[in-house]
Structure 1
Amino acid sequence: MTTKNILLIDDHPMVLEGLKALFQNREGITVAAAFTRGREAIAYLKKQPAVDVIFLDINLPEINGFELCKMIKKDFPAIKILALSTHYERSGVARMIQNGASGYIAKTAGAGELITAIDTVCNNGMYLGAGIQEKLTLPGQQGSGAPLPRLTRREKEILLHIADGKTTAQIAGLLFMSPLTAETHRKNLMRKLGAGNTATLIKIAVENGLL
């Protein structure tokens, strides 16, 4: 098993200690470093860029999480970033994804969900915490851009599962369909929403109130 190197950024030392404890003795996961300031994290990455995933708090002093996410992705595009927050406003989630984050997760998430999020983004997926998805799924909150094509009920179901980090095979099993049918629905979603990859698909869905 390949070890995944994790970097933690949060301005509350107690949160950092809690996250370290959650990952302690977890096979395949190593906390490489933890910082309370964004500039410290960037200085570390310039010397030690071998980081796979960063858990990034949004509310940071000096440089907020939104801007720090953009800066890190510009200089270290291969690193996956998972936003950590207690706030789940649609605009904040969309902005983090727009700035390059691969997911958005609640600070109250347990070890199991954090590890699922790591596995999902390391496999080039997008992860939105379950509680965050529920808060985003609100009627009547549509994006301000051009109208999107209408999605079928089945396409909406599949979109939710994609946002939850499920693979095509897993979606097929959950919805009692063949993997080929599930993949066809996924391709139709990508085509309808004009997305070239899963990250862009989730970004468009969030911005337009589909999640």
Structure 2
Amino acid sequence: MNKLRTVIVDDHPIVIEGLKNLLSHETNLEILKGFCNGNELLGFLKNNRVDLILLDITLPDISGIDLCLMIKEISENTIVIVLSNHTERSIILQTIQNGASGYLLKNSSLHELRNCIAGALEGNICYSREVIEIISRPSKNGSDSHLKLTRREKQILALLAEGKTSRMIGEELFLSSLTVDTHRRNLIRKFGVKNLAELIMSAVKMGLI
């Protein structure tokens, strides 16, 4: 099995070392380096293949939110998962809009991080339990006037944004996985996007989630 070439970015060296130690026994990861600022990461990324970046939001030179976009411009296939103490809904959704595949708080368990990495590899957007609770709260200024969605489509869109699979959504809504997949395809068609990640980004921009 090819290991994921992984980089950790955090403004605290002790956090980087802690994550290195925590992840050192993960059989699917190869920890390449740790960086304390964004510019060093970008320089490394231009000359090295990186499959996975564990990224903090607060950095001394570049916001992790903006860094997500810069990473994707250099290496579109690199998976970015945010590890942060920021709990603001707007920050969480902005990082996803900018290309992150997941968002976890730093008090998340190793189990949650493993699940998030596995989900991201399958093309899903993944969150820790606490983050799901935060983004599930109704948006204060959200509006669905931009696009006409059925009640069921709104339900499924919200659950997809929480990182849930078709099987999980089907169980929650008492639908078959095939029915959920059909709704998912219809949502992608309605939004005029190519995949789930673009669907979530578009829905965030419209204030639908």
Identity rate, percent: 41
d(CA) in 2 for partners of 1:194 and 1:143? 20
TM-score, normalised by the number of residues in structure 2: 0.86
SS in 2 for 1:104: strand
Q: Which moved more, 1:72-81 or 1:87-96?
A: 87-96
The equivalent residue for 2:47 is 47
* Structure 1 unmatched runs, 5+: none
Shift in alpha-carbon separation, 1:138–1:174, aligned structure 2, 3 A: closer
Cα displacement (A) at 1:33: 1.2
1:155 to 147, 153, 156: 153
Alignment of 1:121 with 2:115, yes or no, is: no
Q: Distance in 1 between matches of 2:111 and 2:55?
A: 18
Shift of the 108–130 alpha-carbon distance from structure 1 to 2, 3 Å rule, reads same
**Structure 1 Cα separation of the partners of residues 139 and 121 of structure 2:** 33
Aligned to 2:56: 57
2:105 maps to what in 1?
Answer: 106
Residue of structure 2 in register with 1:38 after alignment: 38
Q: Which residue does the alignment assign to 2:135?
A: 136
2:143 and 2:207 in contact (8 A); partners too? no
Q: Which moved more, 1:134-143 or 1:68-77?
A: 134-143
Q: Which moved more, 1:54-63 or 1:180-189?
A: 180-189
State the partner residue of 1:19. Answer: 19
- Secondary structure of residue in 2 paired with 1:141: coil
Counterparts of 1:97 and 1:65, CA distance in 2: 11
- Relative distance call for 1:33 and 1:151 in structure 2 (3 A) is farther
Residues 7, 54 of structure 2: 8 Å contact kept: yes
Tell me the CA shift for residue 170 of structure 1.
4.1
User: Please, what is the CA RMSD of the aligned residues?
Assistant: 2.3
> Are 1:37 and 1:60, in contact at CA under 8 Å, matched by a contact in 2?
yes
| 1-structure distance, mates of 2:76, 2:138 | 34
Cα separation, 1, equivalents of 2:52 and 2:10 = 14
Q: Tell me, in whole angstroms, the C-alpha distance in 1 between the residues paired with 2:127 and 2:88.
A: 13
Distance between the aligned counterparts of 2:22 and 2:85, measured in 1? 18
1:59 is paired with a residue whose SS is coil
SS of the residue 2:181 aligns to: helix
Asked if the contact 2:144/2:208 (under 8 Å) is kept, the reply is no
Indicate how the Cα distance of structure 1 residues 134 and 67 shifts in structure 2: closer, same or farther if over 3 A, else same: same
Matching residue of 1:95: 94
Letter paired with 2:180? A
Specify the alignment match of 2:85 in structure 1: 86
TM-score normalised according to structure 1 size = 0.86
